[in-house]
Amino acid sequence: MTASRNDRPVRKSVKVLFVCLGNICRSPMAEGIFRHLLRQASLDDRVKIDSAGTHAYHVDEPPDARAQAALDQRGIDISTLRGRKVTPTDIEIFDYVLAMDRENLKNLMAICPPGAASKIRLFMEYASNCSEQEVPDPYFGDSGGFDRVFDLIEDAASGLLADIRARYHLTA
């Protein structure tokens, strides 16, 4: 953070981390969808994004085939992403640490370094076209669940981009 313009901190970049349980369904989908949105807004070099899981079950694995298929249908490729587990250092480094559900939020709070808790939010807080407060875990359901997850994430992603623009003055 340096100077301020219109009361917004001037930043070269803002960092966003999406977090779910396994880092193979919801959070890599959010990463892919939000990156796509940032490219359309020519902000992909200003907003740095990543995703991680609260558990290590799927470390180094690619996203679930159903998650990849749901995004492939919309022209978004997440096949090169690999699972990793979130760390307390992530919460220090990232400006936004966005949990897909309340269980993820609770697990993030449990490892949160002092003074960083305000960065941890439910991702669906940024949605405006639906009343859901959580992105439901689609892992044990059918492929229709992944389409629903896509719609929820797309809604919250637009609100998140608006929040970043409102809170930060992004500059070269």
With tokens 């897909």, the residue in question is: 100
Size of the site for ligand 4NP (CB under 6 A): 10
| Active-site residue flag, 137 | yes
In Å, how far are 22, 39, 118, 135, 149 from 82, measured between CA atoms?
A: 11, 21, 27, 20, 19
Q: How far is the CB of 46 from ligand 4NP (least distance, A)?
A: 27
CB of 104 to ligand 4NP, least distance (A): 8
57 lies in the site for ligand 4NP, by CB under 6 A? yes
If residue 103 lies in a helix (H) or strand (E), which one and from where to where? helix 102-110
What is the 8-class DSSP label of residue 85?
B
Residue 44 known to be catalytic = no
Of 14, 16, 20, 38, the one binding ligand 4NP (CB under 6 A) is: 20
Could you say which of 25, 71, 108, 156 contacts ligand 4NP (CB under 6 A)?
25
Q: Which of 167, 86, 170 has the alpha carbon at shortest distance from 120?
A: 86
- Residues forming contacts to ligand 4NP in the complex (CB under 6 A) are 20-26, 57, 137, 139
